Amino acid sequence: MKHLPVIAVTSGEPAGIGPELCSSLVSAAWPAQLVIVGDAELIAARAAAIGRPLSVRHFEPGRAPAPGVLDVLHVPLAVPAQPGQLDVRNAGYVLATLDAAIDGCLSGSFAAMVTAPVQKSVINDAGIAFSGHTEYLAERTATARVVMMLAGQYGAARNWLRVALATTHLPLSAVPQALTPAMLEEVLQILHADLRDKFGLAQPRILVAGLNPHAGEGGHMGREEIDVIEPVLARLRAQGMQLIGPLPADTLFTPHQLERGDAVLAMYHDQGLPTLKFATFGGGINVTLGLPIIRTSVDHGTALDLAGSGRADAGSLHAAIDCALSMLGAAPGA
């Protein structure tokens, strides 16, 4: 038992598919102790409703996991939750589950945290400013800069596609102003360091997308490549980083180009993620780089229309746990 890492799994938006995805974890043999963070009665009731009855017990540190039993760090709902029906009164509950997992990771009680999806809109509707897990984790861990990276295996060869983002949840009109030399350099340093230290890539090769069509086409379609991206890449190459780019995003995600790198850095959210999700959806994962803790997540949303149906695919949640284990050194690397 003392050798098993303890991983917190937050159950996400209570009206979404998160609680039932968590109930699927009891059926697998994990080289870790998984602790679901959420309302214990909700987890048990949602599992029973989809024909997956299970035993739930309150988590006690140091107690060995038991076959067929789900350990739950109980965080009570504010009001009962119904599948598919958002309720702003439970917004605080969702953040409380995240806080419990973060605090446990910071204290060393948990070795890593894995998150089921949350509904950003209902948290904001409750009057709480919330732009996403990534930004919330950065604030709660007092981390100045974090990097969102999604990853998954694709194609017959099951190659890994890793896509990191220079900017995350910003309006497209705000991206050029946010893309400063200092910010881009910091993002690349974080991406390089975590690919090396957490993914075991001794000399990571990073493909860097341009911001504009055709990577600016020599300044005719924008100067961000000339004024911002290229100088940063030259500076970091001089420090020994293997950086390829800036590359036109419309041809970057082709087999020939992807074979040249271990990860892609896209300049904004919808530049990098549509291709990744097309190639890996259902088995992809989200990783927050640059944190003092390990955090992975699913690559999908709350799927309110599937909640309570028993048809939600738990593949991404299982892959996120596998990735956390890999980063901990408890399983083969991603």
| Annotated binding residues | 133-134, 169, 214, 269, 277, 286, 295
37 vs 52: CA distance, rounded Å? 19
Other C-beta atoms closer than 10 Å to the C-beta of 187 total 24
Give CA angle at 240 (239, 245), nearest 5°: 100
- The rounded Cα 295 to chain-centroid distance in angstroms is 7
Chain-centre distance for alpha carbon 195: 15
- Cα(151)–Cα(288) distance, integer angstroms: 11
Binding site residues for a divalent metal cation, as ranges? Answer: 169, 214, 269
> Is the dihedral angle over the CA atoms 100, 105, 108, 110 positive or is it negative?
positive
The CA-atom distances, in angstroms, between 302 and each of 8, 19, 83, 226 are 19, 10, 10, 40
Helices (H), the chain: 18-23, 40-49, 91-107, 120-125, 133-140, 175-178, 181-197, 224, 230-237, 249-252, 255-258, 269-280, 315-328
What is the distance between the alpha carbons of residues 136 and 102, in angstroms, rounded to a whole number?
10
DSSP-derived pairing of the beta strands 147-154 and 242-247: unpaired
Q: Which two tokens stand for residue 167?
A: 């900017």
Q: How many CA atoms lie within 13 A of 70 on its CB side?
A: 32
* Binding-site entries for substrate: 133-134, 277, 286, 295
The answer to whether 262 and 206 have CB atoms below 8 angstroms apart is yes
